[in-house]
């Protein structure tokens, strides 16, 4: 039997390479490829909150943490979704303001 290992890899020659930066032309090409494969840009554009889902049109409310915890607790207590609570709150608001 030999003392030499059965398999070895010399990693000394491996070096990391800079990925560089994307040019405007590269970004356009990447965006076109994404569009062709059905990817949708949902990043906010100067508008606060999460964008509506393009599939359902659902709006995702962004609330302060203490409100979020209270909404979650009430939804759990009542056995409904948080969306149901938001819909009910909106209905009350509309009634109060005559909308």
Q: What is the pLDDT of residue 68?
A: 85
Mapping DSSP onto H, E and C, the string for 31-62 reads: HHHHHHCCCCCCCCCCCCCECCCCCCCCCECC
Q: What is the domain range of residue 78?
A: 61-99
Q: Is residue 13 included in any domain, yes or no? A: no
Question: DSSP character for 19?
Answer: -
Residue scoring higher pLDDT (21 or 58): 21
Contact between 86 and 61 under an 8 Å Cβ cutoff? The reply is: yes
Q: CA–CA distance from 80 to each of 71, 76, 84, 86, 98 (Å)?
A: 11, 7, 6, 11, 26
**Same domain as 72, residue 47:** no
Instruction: Let me know if residue 30 belongs to a domain.
Output: yes
CB atoms within 10 A of CB 85: 16
State the average pLDDT over residues 54-80. Answer: 81
- Which pLDDT belongs to residue 78? 94
This prediction's pTM:
0.40
């Amino acid at each position: 039997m030999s003392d030499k290992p059965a398999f070895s890899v010399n990693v000394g020659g491996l070096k990391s390479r800079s990925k560089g930066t994307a040019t405007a032309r590269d970004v356009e090409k990447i965006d076109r490829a994404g569009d062709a494969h059905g990817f949708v840009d949902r990043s906010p554009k100067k508008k606060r909150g999460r964008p509506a889902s393009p599939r359902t049109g659902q709006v995702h409310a962004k609330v302060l943490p203490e409100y979020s915890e209270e909404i979650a607790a009430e939804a759990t207590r009542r056995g409904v979704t948080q969306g149901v609570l938001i819909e009910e709150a909106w209905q009350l608001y509309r009634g109060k303001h005559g909308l």
